[in-house]
Amino acid sequence: MRRWLFAAMVLCMVEAAFAADFDSPIVSARFEASTYAPLTGEPFTLTLKVELTPDTSLVEWPQITDPWGPFEVRSIEPVEQVGNSVSQSFVVVLWRPEDAVTPPTYLGYGAGGGDIRRVPVTEAYFSVPTVLEAGAEDPIPAVGFPGAIWPWPGLVLVAGICVVVLMVVLPKLRPDAELTTPPDPLDALARALGRISSDDPRAVSRAVMRIVQRAYRLEPESDGLRRTRDTAEALLYRTTPVTADEADDLRRLALRAINEILDG
């Protein structure tokens, strides 16, 4: 009988230990943003939010400085606490058109005594599209069907008629007839460089960088485009203002790099 009582006491102690472990304080931390698809060079707000339990307190707060991973940190707000909620906001910028994620970040909290626990902050993911400067004309406009989307049976019928017409017309064409050469995308980008217009040298530089990035995707082996892209990034990443002469030099450098490919 005593043996059974002893076993029951042990089981109760083990169950109480597990219950105490599951009831241990839990702190949640996450990043939130005003937008998760910012434009290249567009400032947006990133906020670190922490939810405490009544019997916990923050001991270690992460220090975020510029640069922070792929982010340029423009400004940092003070830490604010309202009840059990703690937050801190940052104004950040992403300069590359790519997918980005907040760097690994940790904070520490205590639940009484000298025990300090560290928890990771849940990351925030971003997708930065490639766009031209606001107001700039897209050198390669999208081509689509006007009006409503055609139904598939209609498309099949139109395609069949086009095939029949081509089979009848093509044999009658003169052998020496010249086919119209489609426009070169690089030539369209070169013309777009000349259409950039803005009183802000930094805005002009960003528009030039967008065009150079598009040209570099077409000609990834071009040393001239690579050097121009690196020059544009260095110009935009620095803290001092961009001058009008520097923006014009960058535009001429991009135009020379594209023309070298077209002339080659």
Per-domain residue ranges of the chain: 24-127, 183-263
**Rounded to 5 degrees, what angle do the CA atoms 213, 228, 262 make?**
75
pLDDT of residue 254: 87
- CA-CA distance, 99 to 107, in Å (whole number)? 25
pLDDT tens by residue, 136-169: 454 445 444 444 455 667 677 778 888 777 777 6
Closest CA to 101 of 72, 126, 74, 71: 126
What is the reported pLDDT for 62? 92
- Regarding predicted confidence, which is higher, 146 or 189? 189
**pLDDT computed for residue 150 by the predictor:** 52
* Residues 229-235, mean pLDDT to the nearest whole number: 85
Mean pLDDT of 192-203: 83
Instruction: Specify the higher pLDDT residue, 50 or 182.
Output: 50
pTM comes to 0.42
Q: What DSSP letter does each residue of 107-172 carry, written as one string?
A: EEEESSTT-EEEEEPBP-EEE----PPTTPPPSS-----SSSPPPHHHHHHHHHHHHHHHHHHGGG
Higher-confidence residue: 221 or 2? 221
Does the structure show a pLDDT above 60 at 132? no
pLDDT at 4 over 90: no
> Which has the higher per-residue pLDDT, 244 or 139?
244
Mean pLDDT value across residues 55-59: 85
* H/E run at residue 217: helix 201-218
Architecture of domain 24-127: Sandwich (2.60)
